[in-house]
Amino acid sequence: MVNPDYENNGTSGSADSSQRFIGYIPDLLQELSHIIHFDYVIQPVQDASFGHRRLDGTWDGMVGQLIDGVSLSNSTPITSLSDHFNCMPLAM
């Protein structure tokens, strides 16, 4: 089993997303935000999907949120599929 990059720590309703999640991603974001002074919000994808192309050609999940401008970035142990490369650039 792969350790998750982040997980909910069980404190629901917290206004500060950094207090609701634990793991590598929240720790990294917190340190970077102190160094280069930016604000962030950790928001899990509502449909809990990495991203699949729908029959109409649109995308759901994290990929869909990036394409639609809902999210500015994402971070996850996402598998790079050729379909993902065709719709958006991925940093490796």
| Spans of the chain, pLDDT less than 70 | 1-19, 76-92
Task: State the pTM of this model.
Answer: 0.59
Per-residue pLDDT tens digits for 27-43 = 888 999 999 999 988 88
CA angle 7, 12, 14 (to 5 degrees): 100
Which sequence spans correspond to the domains of the chain? 8-36, 44-92
For residues 51 and 84, the answer to whether their CB atoms sit within 8 Å is yes
Q: How far is CA 2 from the centre of its chain?
A: 17
Q: How far apart are the first and last CA of the chain?
A: 22
Q: What pLDDT, on the 0 to 100 scale, is given for residue 37?
A: 95
Q: What pLDDT, on the 0 to 100 scale, is given for residue 49?
A: 82
Q: What pLDDT, on the 0 to 100 scale, is given for residue 47?
A: 86
